[in-house]
A = this chain, B = another copy of it.
């Protein structure tokens, strides 16, 4: 029934919000943040009851292929698509659609992420089945996460008219994509019940997304057409190296979704988190009776509501600690009040300004 469904896991990107564990050479998707599986491994794990590894594609940067392939050796090596450098999600998705469409012109493609967490993996697979069905009708489908709190850190999708049902999901026309709101608007969005968080997960037929690119992003379309010809001519590598850097950086949201016709949203509760900072990691981990999530070599006395990750091959001891996040690595240590972990970006900024690239 979903034999033509393929997953594309976007696993490029550096990301420094989980510094000091996440680094250029060891980005978030490779980290084991929850349990003993990395974010990338979890992204594959939650798919395989639905899809064989052969239909899971990965798009990433060249220097990350080895590390990711080692984490999931079951993935065929030809399923890794390399982006020479990041040119935004539109280009990334267009490139993957080009390759996939040549392999299976009837393909339905689920664009997924490796750096988000999904707790309700059964529900995730159910919504992919439903989205597959809607995509087969020609829609560009986006998954909207039903808000659980007035988040100001996400973009929102406002839904319009109901379009129908797939499985036990309702799907709707998209009325607008809305930028990250301030706190007041976020409260209003939560109350309105017609807004969902923009998860960055999409499902569509490759034919439909390639047609949309042809109609709305002529530069990208020209590049993809040229790359298709280069593939036929056996000149793909040089053509990619030449043409890719010239592309304008663009997101799929701005380049396609906000302007395309026949865009549908399926609201769903997935227990989803974008794992955007250390406090979000803490929220995902099991806490002990004192509210602590401790891992590695830790001795904690009279310590509460704290997360301590001892990843530095050293003993970490805590006495009388409250509401802290401690992340220890061999060359850098972070101690942050739990509600200020987003300020890690300020630390990273300082390191960048000081030219301390070895720590980034």
Interfacial residues, chain A to chain B (CB-CB below 8 A): 20, 299, 301-302, 312, 314-322, 324, 326, 328, 330-337, 339-341, 343-344, 346-347, 350-351, 356, 359
Cβ-defined contact, B333 with A317, below 8 A: yes
Q: Are A320 and B299 in contact (CB under 8 A)?
A: no
Tell me whether A336 and B315 are in contact (CB under 8 A).
no
B314 touches A347 (CB 8 A): no
- Can you report 6 A-B residue pairs in the complex whose CB atoms are below 8 A from each other? A315-B333, A316-B333, A317-B335, A320-B337, A321-B336, A326-B335
Bound state CA distance, A314 and B316, in angstroms? 14
C-alpha gap A318/B20 in the complex (Å): 12
A321 touches which of B337, B341, B356 (Cβ 8 Å): B337
Least Cβ distance of A23 to chain B in Å? 13
- Distance in angstroms from A322 CB to nearest chain B CB is 8
- Beta-carbon contact of A335 and B321 below 8 Å: yes
Decide: A340 and B317 in contact? CB cutoff 8 A. no
- Cβ contact within 8 Å between B317 and A332: yes
Cα A330 to Cα B332 in complex, Å, equals: 11
Whether the Cβ atoms of A335 and B330 lie closer than 8 Å is: no
Q: Are B335 and A314 in contact (CB under 8 A)?
A: no
The 4 A-B residue pairs whose C-beta atoms are closest, nearest first, are A320-B337, A320-B340, A319-B336, A315-B332
Q: Are A328 and B337 in contact (CB under 8 A)?
A: no
A333 touches B328 (CB 8 A): yes
Pairwise interchain contact A335-B331, C-beta atoms closer than 8 A: no
Question: Is B314 touching A334 in the complex (CB atoms < 8 A)?
Answer: no
In the assembled complex, the Cα of A301 lies from the Cα of B334 at a distance in Å of 11
**Chain B hits for A326, CB < 8 A:** 335
A284 to chain B, nearest CB (A): 20
Contact present for A347 and B316 (CB under 8 Å)? no
A335's nearest neighbour on chain B, judged by CB, is: B318
**What residues of B have a CB within 8 angstroms of the CB of A347 in the complex?**
299, 301, 317, 319
A335 contacts B315, CB within 8 Å? Answer: no
